[in-house]
Amino acid sequence: MSKQTITRVEKPWGHELIWAKTGDYVGKILHINRGHRLSLQYHRVKEETIYVSTGSMILLIEDDQGVLQEVPLKAGEAHHIATGRKHRMIATEDCDVFEVSTPHLDDVVRLEDGYGRQGTSKA
């Protein structure tokens, strides 16, 4: 057992705390400020599950037919995001979202971004 280093990464929509990082998985806490939204994106390899710890958000996620659906999520609710699914998180209140994923942090294909980061592949 070893004490983990927590890395804070400032984002235009809030910040993230990376609290676990191994060769098999990554654990993050995303703090999304009310009214902000992450990129409309997908991952080529990365797979993730999110859990809303505080606040509320809308998860815009692609369904099996390729249509983007709005899924409201509040504290205590979780959602799986499969590899290749387009998705976006939109905070309706300040929220803290736990994300557990495969360790592919740079696997981000941004299709649309309100902060000028389209097409980049950095997390």
Q: For 42-57, how does the pLDDT look when each residue is reduced to its tens digit (9 = 90+)?
A: 999 999 999 999 999 9
Whole-Å CA distances, 77 to 35, 50, 96, 97: 19, 8, 12, 10
pLDDT of residue 1: 67
Q: For the segment 93-112, what is each residue's pLDDT rounded down to a tens digit?
A: 999 999 999 999 999 999 99
pTM here is 0.91
What is the count of structural domains for the chain? 1
pLDDT given at position 120: 60
Q: What is the span of the domain harbouring residue 107?
A: 7-112
Asked if residue 83 is part of any domain, the answer here is yes
The predicted pLDDT at position 77 comes to 98
| pLDDT mean for each 10 residues of the chain (123 residues) | 90 97 97 97 97 98 96 98 98 98 94 83 52
Residue 52 corresponds to which tokens in the numbers above?
């809303």
Q: Is residue 24 part of a domain?
A: yes
Q: What per-residue confidence (pLDDT) applies to 121?
A: 61
Tell me, what CATH number does 93's domain have? 2.60.120.10
48 located within any domain: yes
Q: How far apart are CA 9 and CA 11, in angstroms?
A: 6
Residue 123 domain-assigned?
no
Q: Is residue 121 part of a domain?
A: no
